[in-house]
Structure formats: C-alpha cells, structure tokens
A and B are shown apart, each in its own frame.
Chain A
Amino acid sequence: MFFSLLLFLTTGLSHQQKEAYTVVKPNKNTGKTEVIHRFYLHDAEHGFTAVMGKNVVLNENKEIQRLFADYVIKSFQISDSNGSLITANTVGHEIEGRYIWVYQEIANKLPCQLQVKMTAFHEIWAEHINQVNFEWPNGVKAARLTLTEAQQQLQIYNCDSINLN
C-alpha cells in the first residue's frame, strides 16, 4: 500500500481563521443559481502568498485579484450524482470589509442530489475548512469540506420548492 505526500506550507503565523464560506442559492429574480465565495482577507493574503510562492497583496493590483478569483473558481466544483460537472460561470470579485468575495452563476437548475468539491487552501493549510451552504427555501444543507473530505455528496433540502426554469 502506497501513500503520497501532501506539500504544505510551514505556517509561522497561526492566527488565520482558516475558514471560508460559499453560499449557493437560487435567485428567482434572475432565474439563475448564484455562487458566492467569501474569504477572510487576511487568510486570502497569506494563503495566496503561499499558493503563488511569492508575496502577494490583494490590493488594486487587478491581476493578483483576478488570479485569486481564478484560483477560487478552479477550486470549486459542483457535479451531478453521476459526476458530470455543472458549469458555473464567472461573474467577478470584489473586496469589501474584511472579506474578498468571488462570484459565480449557474444557468441551469441544480439537481437535487449532487456532489460538491471545494479545495481552496487545502494544499497549503491542512486545517482549512471550506463551508458550502446550499440555501433553498426553508432549509440550508451545508457541507464542511476539509482536506480529508474535500468532496461530499448531498441532497438539497426542499430542492423542489423552487423552480428557476
């Protein structure tokens, strides 16, 4: 039986929150499912520095912000129960308050049973947790995605209570 190595940053600073939230929520106004990723700026700055292998500052340097958003988007996947990927289109990103937000939209209605994967920062911080909330009316089904369980299969609560299309 073999095992492989996970390459982590040695974390000198341990005060990062090391958690991020993603909210997946249907929007009846637009008929799309919105995906909103929220990262603590301090985490994002230190984490992305480690990911990039050089000091980065999430400032008005649009290129770094765009790279971070690309990184988040690549870390996130939703697929149906058969494993077929569901496309989430990029909308944009912004810095507000203590967070950096990254936005995506899904054009099609999500299946009620699906798989979600979110690996952001798992490769550098073993303890980082990405919480993904699927927020349908009268129920929030959440997945706590860790390095050890970066992908989960789940059933959305009250999935049929909303029909976008």
Chain B
Amino acid sequence: MIRKTYILIILLCSLTVNPASAVQQTKGNYVDKFRQLDEILPTPNAYRNAAGEPGHSYWQQQVDYKIKVKLDEQKRRVNGSLTISYHNQSPYELKYLWLQLDQNRFKSDSFAEKTVAFGGIGRRGPNTVHAKDDKPAQISLNELRRQQFYDDVELGYEISEVQDSGGLGLPFVINGSQMRVDLPEALVSGGKYEFSLQFAYNILEENAVRARSGYEHFPDDERKGGNDIFLIAQWFPRMAAYSDYEAWHNKEFLGSGEFTLEFGDYDVEMTVPADHIVASTGELQNADQVLTAVQRARLKEAETAQRPVMIVSEEEALENEKSGTSDEKTWRFKAKNVRDFAWASSRKFIWDAKGYQQGGVDQEMVMAMSYYPKEGGDLWKKYSTESVIHTMEVYSRFTFDYPYPVSISVNGPVGGMEYPMITFNGPRTIWHEEDGSRTYTLAEKRFLIGVVIHEIGHIYFPMIVNSDERQWTWMDEGLNSFLDGVAGREWDPTIPWGVEPRDIIDYMKSDVQVPVMTQSDSVLRLGPNAYTKPAVAFNILREVIMGRELFDFAFKEYAVRWRYKRPTPTDFFRTMEEASGIDLDWFWHGWFYTTDHVDISIDKVYQLRLDTMDPDIDLDRRRKEHEAEPGSLFVSRNQQERIKTWVELNKDVKDFHDENDRFTPSNKDRSKYQEFLAKLEPIEKAVMNRALDEDKNYYVMNFSNIGGLVMPILLSLTYQDGSVESLHIPAEIWRKSPFEVSKLLVTKKNKKLKSVVVDAGWETADVDVENNHYPRQIIPSRIEMFKKEKDKRLEYKDLMHDIKTPIKKPKVKKYKK
C-alpha cells in the first residue's frame, strides 16, 4: 500500500515538473528515468550544434567603450561620458539597440522596488513582517535606513546627450532599468554603429542599500569627516546582450539574476582625488602620471618577487588617510576582450602585488594584486594576493591559461563580487580596542582564502565563459563552487573546503525547494539551489560517475569551447556527454530538472545454490535444509512434558513410510535425471559440470529507489573471511525498473557473503544511511555518537589574541592540616 502511494506521488511530481512534455506515460506507473533530454533541449542548429559546441555559423556581438568619468568624492557622485561602438556581427538587421541601466533598479519606482512584497522574501531578504496575532507589523531598522537613504539621495541614472557620431540627437526610451535607442536607419549585419551619451548617478551606500557596489564610510579615520572606499560597478550604461537564442537580453534587472554582457575593448579614464589609489579592470596606461617613481619601481620588483611586494605600504596608507586634497589625477586603463569593467578608489588603500609567472603564449606574466584598508590588516597582507595566484594555478589547469594582465582582490563593503580582472571581497580583522591590535580567527582566515578563490574563479566563469547569470545562476555559481572546492583542497586539505555530498542532503530531501533549472529571480534560495547542489552534482559526476579522467577532459573541453563565447545549459550538458562518451541525460534530468533526492535501500539479500538435478544429491540437500530449520515449539513442549506419542507407544506397527521420508529418491526420480542428462547437448553438459564443480555462491540483492533519483549503486561487500570488496553498479541498472531492482552476485565457493553496505563512503548524497545496510544495523544517531565521545576542535580559537593574554596564577586552595 505504501509502495503504491509512493509511486503515485513520484508520477505526479514528474508531471508537475515537466508539464509541457509531449511524451507522457498515460497508463500505469512506469517512469522512464533515462528518457533522452532531446525532447526538452532546444534543437541543435548552425549556431550551437548537437555536440554542444559553437556551430559553424556561431556569432556574437562586440561592443567597444570609451569612457571618461569623474568621481566626485564630496558629493559621492559619478559623472561620465560614454562612447559606444556597436559591431553587429549577427545575421540580422537591428532597428534599435537596448542598453542596461542597472542603477535604475535602485529608483524608488523601479520594477524591483515596486514588486517587493511587504512581509515577503523580497530583495535579498525580508525586512518587513506582517502583523500577526497580538504583534504589530514590523519594519527593520535597516529597511528604514534604506528608505531614508532613498529619501535623501536621488538614485538612478541621469542620461543626456544621446547622439550619434555626428552630434545628431537620437531618440531613446527608458523602460525601467533598460533603455532603447532608436537608430536613424537599421544597422545592417556586419555594420558598426557609434554613438555617445552623458551619464551621472549618485553612488549608493552599500551598507544601506546592498547593491554589489557602492561606498563605505569610515567616520573614525583621523581625516576630518572620515574617508570612503568606493567600489564602482554596474556604473555605466552597458549594452544589453543580443544572442542567437534570446535575441535582446532585455529582461528587467530585479536583483537576484545578475548579468550577461558582450565582449569588447575598453578605454577608460577616471578622474579621482589625487591622493586616491585606483584598482581597476584593465592595464594602467599612464603609470608615470599617477604613480610615484618608487611605486613604479616596486611594481617592477613585484614582477619576479617570491612574496607580495608592498606598492603602498600600511604606513604610507595610514599617512595618506589622515588628510585629503582638492587636487585630482586621471588614471587611464585599457582592457581588451572583457565583458564588463569595474574599479575601486580610495585614499585608504594599502596595495601589494606579486607577478604570477604563468608562462605560455596568452599571458606570460599576470600581476596579482590586492588593495585593502588597514582594517584588512595582516590577514590581507599574507593571504589575499597569494590566494589570487593559487586560484589561477588551479583553475587554469582545469580550463585555460588566465588571459588578462592583472588579477585583483579589493577589500570593501561587498562580501564577495566578481568582475573581469577585479573582485571585491569582504573579510576583515578584529580590532582590539584595549591595545589597538588586530587579529583574526582561523575561521576568518579560511573565509578570506575561500572567498578570494571563489571570486577570482568567477573571472573564468562567467567573465570569460560567458554564461547568462540573469537566467541561470547555477551555470557560474555551481561550476565555480565546484572548482573553488578543488582549489581549496589543494591549498590545505585539512580545511573543510568545498562541498561534500552530505552537505546538501537536508535540502534535497525536503519539500521546500525548486529545481536547479529555475530562472534566477524565481529561485527560493540561491545558496543551496544554485551553489551547493550543482557543485555536489559535479563532485559526484567527477568522483563517482565519470571518473576524473573523463570528467576533467570534458569539463576542460567545455571551458575551452566557450571561452569568450556564450554557452547555455544545453551546451554544457551536450559537451559533457559528447566529450566523455557517456549518456548523462538521466543525471541532468534528475539533478537539474527535478527535486528528487537520492535514497537507495538494500531491502533483502538471499542466496541461491545450483541444483545438480541428481535426486540422490539434491533431495539429500533438501533434507539437510529441512533438518536445519527450527522444530515445532508445540512438539518441543510436548516432549518437555514427557507426553508419549502414539507412534512411540505402538512401535510394533510400522510401514514403508516409517523407513523412507519424503526426501528419499525414487527410481522414477533417477530415471528422470538420466533422461535429463541424455538430452543435454555436449556444451550444455560441460557448462553444467563446470558449474557443479565450481559450486559458486549465488546471491540476489534487492534494492529499492525511495528518493526517486536514479544513481549508481556503490556496494561494499564484506565476506565471512573478513575481506571487503567494492562493486560499482552503474545507474543504468534502473533503466527498465526505476523503483525496484535486483542484482545477482556470484562468488567463489569459499567466498561467503556476510554483509552488504550501499554507499559506505557517503559519496552519492544518499539521505538515509540506515537502509543502506544488509543485514540492518543499529546506526547510532549523531546525538548518540556525541554522547559517546565529545569531539574537541581547536582550530576556531582566536589563538593570535589569546596567546598574548597574560598567564593568570590559579588560586591555590588551602587545605587544613
């Protein structure tokens, strides 16, 4: 009864997940877990082929930018002029161009703001609570701070002077966080169009609004009025992507789904206070104008240094942040073939650098650099730039050489965010007021290394392998979380980096989730859905299903194929299959298109023995089996009560059946056996004789698939002689019976099976360990284990601080003599 109910639920789930499927099982409960994905995936075409690689007619647009921008520190405002060169490399004519105005997302009447539900999950977390029972409605102080910031500061772009290269004004329409520019005449395929505009906006306070960029104010700095760190991103009107599969990517920016843009070349001049240090996407063009001779010499020294060289030391930065200037400097950066551009500016920055001698032909030396205030302290000095380099070493092995001249980590108010060549990372030290020292915990050290690896990793995915973050967060976060785990484990395997299958089971077995293949703004919880679950899936693919050799080859092939191009999930799925020669449709379907989980149970193991067909042997075996069975309790108690049976009391009455039991072979049986032997072909006789001679053990193992997700069955077989063997049964065993399946195990005569464990190493995210054992075992729960032995972990001490604590003399208890 339970089974029928279960199957019905699974079927209903399947129908719900894929309501548009043209092919449905409309009778019975059979579910084809191995149905090919072709009926879900788009048809291959000339732009993206069936192998998952760019097709022979693949195209993408190119957009080049020239920007002059001024950072008005006093007003916390950006003023810029922008010239865009749009290269229409599509086969189509374009009558208009769409731009993204991401700063408009922060206007109080934006789509995103207007659709934040009171008491709902809202934008990056709920800040309001409905009135309930006797409690009034609630609004967070942060929400009020945000609203007050909105009241005090006008947000969003001011756009003006949209005009063509001849100075002729162009009509344009602003629609939320997007802008359409109508062209005087259609831009033909292969054509180029240049236009310009002026833009300005007030910079957000990141801690008030949370925008992946903005300023952070440090009121306690010695300089009157304090100082700011400016992280400038999504800061200029950017051309929307135009692709073969979605045409204009003009989906409104709602906050969760991030970005996808076109590749192009940038030439950017930033005018900032003269005492600011600027970190930026691109290569600095005018070092002799903005850096001192000493700083330039230090940068040269850093190219071949063993450890990071301080370009601006802590002492110099501290001195710098004490005063200000009304002078300005203009920094100029150029970046080639990038999909975005971001920068940071502050007089607080300490700056270190170390050359990463990568070799190869693409970019022989990459300058890894970190910019951080004193609040970053030794934590940043020691580990930020080194983490940047470690990331490139590992990621390049799995993908391609890092192609850009710089790779940067900047500390500011953003916890972690990525842009081409530059990342923003949040971890800081703890300040101890009593002695002015700064320390950090081991947990914070791990966090810094981890977040730098993750964000620098994003320069590969999606800044170079240009997936669409607005639609599919998992394509960059999932792949990158998988790879940051690889890099982390190669940093220090004693640290619990990355994700293990066990990390996702509480989420996957619950009824509060959505499939991974869900549009980014509709995902309920991006953490487990778009980061952890896909990262676990790739771990399992690599370690369990495909093996490292096939996985790594296919993964690299995907990265190389789509470097500087625009892959979709379909291209990833197809490449991984095509390059490895493994049909993974069942895996993609189960892990990415459903909310099933893994729960494989071993329900029963029974032994078989080959009959000889010889009645003198087989009937004697049956007799022994019968004698080995426990006798009747009834009869046993009669005997204990010394009740004499009729047979015992009447021994003189006997017949044939008292001398011959039912296991006695008859001549009729023997004749039948001889007849059987006579009919056997010589080959059949040889096979039978060999089997009888070997007398192997035959075990049948029954499994059930409770979670719905088909997976390989990883068996650990323990024999009576104490030996243990592993047996990996591929997931395809479920192909014709997705919920229950049996497997025959044949062992040598003296290899008697004692016990079987499914997924003994917790490699498949199986949510229930108890049903993985046959015979069943009492598995102590986590609490039972805890009660047995309390685990003492020491790595979370603030050892750097505690070690300086004066040693206290214990109070000596006095005892009476």
Contact = CB atoms under 8 A, between A and B. Distances in A.
A45 B81 CA distance: 45
Given A11-B207, A25-B781, A95-B791, A57 B796 contact: yes
Contact of B2 (A59, A129, A138): A138
Contact of B511 (A15, A105, A127, A140): A140
B216 interface: yes
B358 to A, nearest CB: 28
A165 interface: no
A141 B511 contact: yes
B669 interface: no
Interface string A48-61: 00000001011111
B136 A3 contact: yes
A29 B125 CA distance: 40
B138 A143 contact: no
B430 A140 contact: no
B760 to A, nearest CB: 19
A84 interface: no
Interface string A38-72: 10011001000000000101111100000000000
B247 interface: no
Contacts of B446: 42
B786 A91 contact: yes
Interface string B432-452: 000000000101101100010
B145 interface: yes
Interface in A74-130: 91-92, 94-98, 101, 103, 105, 125-129
B796 A4 contact: no
B126 A60 contact: no
B397 interface: no
B786 A92 contact: yes
Interface in A1-38: 1-8, 10-19, 21, 23, 25, 27, 29-30, 34, 36, 38
Contact of A42 (B136, B144, B443, B524): B443
Given A127-B124, A135-B509, A147 B783 contact: no
A149 to B, nearest CB: 8
B447 A15 contact: yes
A94 B126 contact: no
A148 B796 contact: no
Nearest to A29: B778
B785 to A, nearest CB: 10
A76 to B, nearest CB: 15
Contacts of A135: 509
Contact of B430 (A36, A55, A58): A55
Nearest to B129: A148
Most buried by B among A8, A92, A141: A8
B140 A38 contact: no
Contacts of B787: 91-92
Contacts of B781: 25, 27, 29-30, 34
Contacts, number: 186
B140 A6 contact: yes
A36 B794 contact: no
Contacts of B137: 1, 3-4
B208 to A, nearest CB: 8
Contacts of A4: 135-139
B219 interface: no
Given A5-B139, A45-B443, A58 B144 contact: no
B405 interface: no
A3 B139 contact: yes
A124 to B, nearest CB: 10
B506 A12 contact: no
B125 A125 contact: yes
B661 interface: no
B433 to A, nearest CB: 10
Most buried by A among B143, B706, B780, B786: B786
Given A19-B528, A60-B794, A142 B510 contact: yes
B797 A143 contact: no
A135 B767 CA distance: 10
B413 A12 contact: yes
Given A25-B781, A29-B784, A57 B125 contact: no
A133 B510 contact: yes
Given A45-B443, A138-B706, A148-B119, A19 B138 contact: no
B130 A36 contact: no
Contacts of A58: 443, 796
B501 to A, nearest CB: 13
Interface residues of B, number: 74
B527 interface: yes
Contacts of B210: 14
Contacts of A34: 781-783
Interface string B111-155: 000000001110011111111000111111111110000000000
A6 B786 contact: no
Contacts of B780: 29
Interface string A131-165: 10101001011111011100000000000000000
Contacts of B793: 94-96
B426 interface: yes
A98 B506 CA distance: 15
A146 B798 CA distance: 31
A23 B131 CA distance: 28
Nearest to A129: B525
Contact of B126 (A92, A97, A142, A147): A147
A146 B121 contact: yes
Contact of B796 (A10, A41, A126): A41
A16 B506 contact: no
A45 B441 contact: yes
A148 B128 contact: yes
B512 interface: yes
B601 to A, nearest CB: 11
B791 A15 contact: no
Interface in B348-367: none
Given A12-B216, A142-B512, A147-B129, A103 B142 contact: no
B416 A91 contact: no
B142 A10 contact: yes
Contacts of A59: 441, 794, 796-799, 802
A125 to B, nearest CB: 7
B390 to A, nearest CB: 19
A135 B619 CA distance: 49
A8 B443 contact: no
A38 B416 contact: no
B156 interface: no
Most buried by A among B120, B139, B413, B506: B506
Nearest to B500: A97
Interface string B391-426: 000000000000000000000011110000000001
Nearest to A96: B791
Contacts of A12: 207, 216, 413, 426, 428
Interface in B507-531: 507, 509-512, 524-525, 527-528
Given A29-B778, A57-B796, A126 B524 contact: no
Contacts of A144: 512, 524-525
B144 A41 contact: no
Give the 9 A-B CB pairs with smallest separation, nearest first.
A127-B125, A15-B415, A14-B415, A142-B510, A59-B797, A6-B140, A57-B798, A13-B426, A95-B793
20 contacts: A1-B136, A1-B137, A3-B138, A5-B144, A7-B141, A8-B127, A15-B426, A16-B415, A30-B784, A55-B430, A91-B783, A94-B790, A101-B782, A103-B783, A126-B126, A127-B125, A138-B6, A147-B125, A147-B126, A148-B128
Given A13-B426, A138-B2, 10 more contacts: A1-B136, A3-B137, A13-B415, A57-B798, A59-B798, A60-B797, A91-B787, A95-B791, A133-B510, A144-B525
Interface of A: 1-8, 10-19, 21, 23, 25, 27, 29-30, 34, 36, 38, 41-42, 45, 55, 57-61, 91-92, 94-98, 101, 103, 105, 125-129, 131, 133, 135, 138, 140-144, 146-148
